[in-house]
């Protein structure tokens, strides 16, 4: 492998930042995204890398883009590098700079929606491949770089559907990398599992009537009982975090009231009130026991209270991060050689990694950003260009290690 000259590296750095900013300037923002501009941009990137590109359509208007770098031993299980093209909505009046301008300030911070979540990682994959190719590197295992739609709205018509197709099975994936998040300290966050998501509507029926009366069995009383139980439980989970400094939010169950529905006017006691609760459950929780607790609270709250589930995910086994997983060993060896300090943890939200793990494949979430404010979905989301470029160097080392992993199937 030949090393890059200073002039080559400077030119590649400039190209990488320009590509990143161009990608950020595509407003692939919910709702009703037209992904055509993203596809055109990625087709241009594939051409510049002299790599084949395939666009798979599982759902009309929801393209899945795959750029492939063939390995020396294409029969080996491949490495999937996944990212999503979509970004969440913005409140433009709360931003210092236009959220799709990719403005660079005098500190080198690149401001744009998607700069952390997660257009940075998609470009870092491609730019790492560009550098390896220029240096004459060839890897044992084939790499598939996938760009998927709709992750920010659950990935149901993106990765969730894609993993069930023959197009996905034909990729022969052995291991996947996907998104992580920034870390505010010197560590790098690494995610090997995710909490499962339960989103619940608690229906609380009761006796309706005039607002001046003291009726029995009202909807409001039942709502009050449930909220007291939920917030008492919430305080217990907060205390667990305080009592266990090494834990992260992914190690506890979170419950949050997100909607209150019901009622017609101020002087009418309604026949029903509904509270909507978002709940994220760690891999260590017994789901049957948790559901029994919820059902008991409903029964205690009063007559007729029941739960309607908007989402009720099963727990998906965590990716092993021990000697039984050779992909993890290769990844960890690379990050050790780079001197990176990893903080292994359970992802607090949901990513497309859960669908990859659900079909039995190991997946790790990793976005190489440390000493960086966590700004995904926030106003003034930014990533410093030095951190962005550093991530490309990291992926060069990581891909070399992981993609040169010997066949262990024998």
Whole-angstrom distance, CA of residue 202 vs CA of residue 257: 11
**Strand ranges of the sheet holding 382-384, from the earlier edge strand across to the other edge:** 103-104, 109-111, 382-384
Whole-angstrom distance, CA of residue 254 vs CA of residue 250: 9
Domain(s) of CATH 3.40.630.10: residues in the chain: 6-194+318-403
pLDDT at position 88: 98
Domain(s) of CATH 3.30.70.360: residues in the chain: 197-282+284-312
Strand, helix or coil for residue 23: helix
> What own/partner pairs with CB < 8 Å and gap ≥ 24 does 351-354 have?
351/151, 351/178, 351/179, 351/191, 351/194, 352/82, 352/84, 352/148, 352/151, 352/155, 352/158, 352/159, 352/160, 352/178, 352/179, 353/82, 353/176, 353/178, 353/179, 353/191, 353/194, 354/194, 354/313, 354/316
Listed residue (37, 154, 182, 112) closest to 381, CA to CA: 112
Token readout for 49 is: 């890398």
Strand, helix or coil for residue 8: helix
**DSSP 8-state assignment for residue 25:** T
Strand, helix or coil for residue 41: helix
pLDDT at position 111: 98
The topology (CATH level 3) of 6-194+318-403 is Aminopeptidase (3.40.630)
> Residue 148 in contact with residue 57, Cβ under 8 Å?
no
In terms of Cβ atoms closer than 10 Å to its own Cβ (0-12, 13-18, 19+), residue 406 is: exposed
The topology (CATH level 3) of 197-282+284-312 is Alpha-Beta Plaits (3.30.70)
Nearest 10 degrees: CA dihedral of 155, 161, 162, 165? 170
Strand, helix or coil for residue 280: strand
Q: Which helix (H) or strand (E) holds 68?
A: strand 62-69
Strand, helix or coil for residue 385: helix
b/e burial code for range 30-40 (CB count within 10 A of at least 16 → b): eeebebeebbe
Please give the chain's pLDDT, 410 residues, in tens. 678 999 999 999 999 999 999 999 999 999 999 999 999 999 999 999 999 999 999 999 999 999 999 999 999 999 999 999 999 999 999 999 999 999 999 999 999 999 999 999 999 999 999 999 999 999 999 999 999 999 999 999 999 999 999 999 999 999 999 999 999 999 999 999 999 999 999 999 999 999 999 999 999 999 999 999 999 999 999 999 999 999 999 999 999 999 999 999 999 999 999 999 999 999 999 999 999 999 999 999 999 999 999 999 999 999 999 999 999 999 999 999 999 999 999 999 889 999 999 999 999 999 999 999 999 999 999 999 999 999 999 999 999 999 999 987 65
Do strands 363-366 and 306-312 pair parallel, antiparallel, or not at all (unpaired)?
unpaired
> Residue 36 in contact with residue 44, Cβ under 8 Å?
no
Predicted TM-score of the model (pTM)? 0.92
Active-site residues, by number, are 86, 151
pLDDT at position 409: 61
Nearest 10 degrees: CA dihedral of 348, 119, 76, 361? 20
């Amino acid at each position: 492998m030949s090393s890059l000259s200073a002039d080559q590296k400077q030119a590649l750095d400039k190209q990488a930042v320009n590509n990143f900013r161009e990608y950020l300037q595509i407003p692939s923002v919910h709702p009703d995204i037209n992904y055509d501009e993203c596809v055109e941009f990625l087709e241009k990137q594939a051409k510049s890398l002299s790599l084949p590109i395939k666009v798979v359509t599982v759902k009309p208007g929801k393209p899945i883009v795959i750029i492939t770098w063939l390995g020396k031993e294409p029969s080996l299980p491949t490495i999937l590098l996944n990212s999503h093209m979509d970004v969440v909505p913005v409140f433009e009046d709360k931003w210092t700079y236009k959220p799709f301008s990719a403005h660079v300030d005098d500190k080198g911070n690149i401001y744009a929606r998607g700069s952390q979540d997660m257009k940075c990682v998609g470009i870092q994959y491609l730019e790492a491949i560009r550098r390896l190719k220029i240096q004459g590197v060839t890897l044992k295992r084939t790499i598939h770089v996938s760009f998927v739609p709709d992750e920010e709205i659950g990935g149901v018509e993106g990765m969730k559907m894609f993993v069930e197709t023959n197009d996905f099975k034909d990729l022969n994936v052995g291991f996947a990398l996907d998104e992580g998040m920034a870390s505010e300290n010197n560590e790098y966050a690494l995610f090997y599992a995710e909490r499962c998501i339960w989103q619940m509507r608690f229906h609380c029926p009761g006796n309706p009537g005039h607002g001046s009366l003291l009726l029995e069995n009202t909807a409001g009383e039942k709502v009050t009982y449930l909220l007291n139980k939920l917030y008492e439980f919430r305080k217990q989970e907060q205390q667990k975090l305080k009592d266990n400094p090494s834990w992260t939010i992914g190690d506890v169950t979170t419950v949050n009231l997100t909607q209150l529905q019901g009622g017609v006017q101020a002087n009418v006691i309604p026949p029903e009130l509904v509270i909507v609760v978002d709940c994220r459950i760690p891999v260590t929780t017994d789901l049957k026991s948790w559901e029994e607790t919820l059902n008991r609270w409903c029964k205690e709250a009063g007559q007729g209270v029941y739960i309607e589930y908007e989402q009720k995910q099963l727990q998906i086994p965590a990716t092993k991060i021990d000697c039984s997983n050779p992909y993890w060993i290769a990844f960890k060896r690379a990050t050790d050689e780079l001197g990176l300090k990893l903080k292994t943890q359970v992802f607090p939200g949901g990513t497309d990694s859960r669908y990859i793990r659900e079909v039995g494949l190991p997946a790790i979430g990793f976005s190489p950003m440390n000493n960086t404010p966590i700004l995904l979905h926030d106003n003034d989301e930014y990533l410093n260009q030095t951190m962005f470029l550093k991530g490309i160097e990291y992926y060069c080392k990581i891909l070399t290690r992981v993609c040169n992993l010997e066949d262990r199937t024998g």
